[in-house]
Structure 1
Amino acid sequence: MSGKGAPELSVKNCQDLRVAVIAAQWHEKVMDGLVDGSLRALHELGIDEPTLLRVPGSWELPVVAKVLAGRGYDAIVALGVVIRGGTPHFDYVCQGVTQGLARVSADTGVPVGFGVLTCDTEEQALDRAGLEGSAEDKGHEAVTAAVSTAMTLRSVSEPWH
């Protein structure tokens, strides 16, 4: 399992964060699981009114993340899935999305939770989608990572007393 060694993150006092979830529409069943996991994680953290936006595919995630980062969001969660095919298209999309989301986060200082599955098969994606019987819940994990990072940034930006 790829999630082996993941940290146990505990996030508190984050109810006032503005969080946006951006989700691609390709691979509906996988995406439904990722979105459900992300919304469940936000609810567990007390963030009951996140913004949820849908985009056509994973390629469109970075541009929407960049715009949201400039509009006062404390954390952004990007959800998508790219499944390998028989052409190099997979490599180009995965590289572009990964570098684009990393750049948004580094350039804006707004954490971007990376919930983009890059899998060889649909079965691998379903196993990470947080569905009943899935081994992992990457939507939930992406929210927890983004919100935890936002709280870390908040702790270093507040003046010491």
Structure 2
Amino acid sequence: MSGKGAPELSVADSGDLRVAVVAAQWHQKVMDGLVDGALRAARDLKLPEPPVLRVPGSFELPVAAKVLAARGYDAVVALGVVIRGGTPHFDYVCQGVTQGLTQVGLDTGVPVGFGVLTCDTEEQAVDRAGLAGSREDKGYEAVTAAVATAVALRSAPAAAR
């Protein structure tokens, strides 16, 4: 299972952070689980309820994340799912989304929580979506990771001159 070895994140002093969620619309059942997990994580971390911006698909996540980062959010969480089909489309979308979201974080300095499932089957996606019976909750994990990173960056020492 891919979650093996994951760190136990403890996030303190995050209640004043502004977090936004951008979520794709494809695979509604999986996406509903991811969004629910993200919102549950925000509640558990005592954050203000994040706005959820819905975009058509995972390929549109990077541009939406960049706009949200530019609007002053302390962290942005991107949620999506891409399921392998019979064409190379899966590889192109996964690569574009991953590179795009990475670039958003690097360009803006705003942590981007990566909650994009890249699965071979719908069953694998359901198992990671935080639904009843799922073994993992990647929406919850993406918020926790983004917020933990934002807290860490807030306390990072300034560079010596």
What TM-score bracket applies, with the shorter chain setting the length? over 0.9
How many angstroms does 1:107 deviate by?
1.1
TM-score normalized by the length of structure 1:
0.96
Alignment partner, residue 14 of structure 2:
14
How many angstroms does 1:90 deviate by?
0.4
Alignment partner, residue 40 of structure 1:
40
Alignment partner, residue 57 of structure 1:
57
Equivalents in 1 of 2:82, 2:101: separation in Å? 15
Secondary structure of residue in 2 paired with 1:156: coil
Alignment partner, residue 144 of structure 1:
144
Letter paired with 2:25: Q
Equivalents in 2 of 1:121, 1:49: separation in Å? 31
Secondary structure of residue in 1 paired with 2:155: helix
Alignment partner, residue 114 of structure 2:
114
Equivalents in 1 of 2:157, 2:83: separation in Å? 39
Alignment partner, residue 156 of structure 2:
156
Identity %: 79
Q: Which runs of 5+ in 1 are unaligned?
A: none
How many angstroms does 1:158 deviate by?
7.2
Alignment partner, residue 78 of structure 1:
78
2:39 touches 2:49 (CA, 8 Å); kept in 1?
no
How far does the alpha carbon of each residue in 1:31-82 deviate from its partner, in whole angstroms, 9 at most, with x for none?
0000000000000000132111100000000001111111111000000000
Letter paired with 2:8: E
Q: CA RMSD in A?
A: 1.2
Equivalents in 2 of 1:73, 1:158: separation in Å? 21
Q: Which moved more, 1:44-53 or 1:129-138?
A: 44-53
TM-score normalized by the length of structure 2:
0.96
How far does the alpha carbon of each residue in 1:1-39 deviate from its partner, in whole angstroms, 9 at most, with x for none?
110000000001111101000000000000000000000
Structure 1 segments of 4 or more deviating over 4 A?
A: none
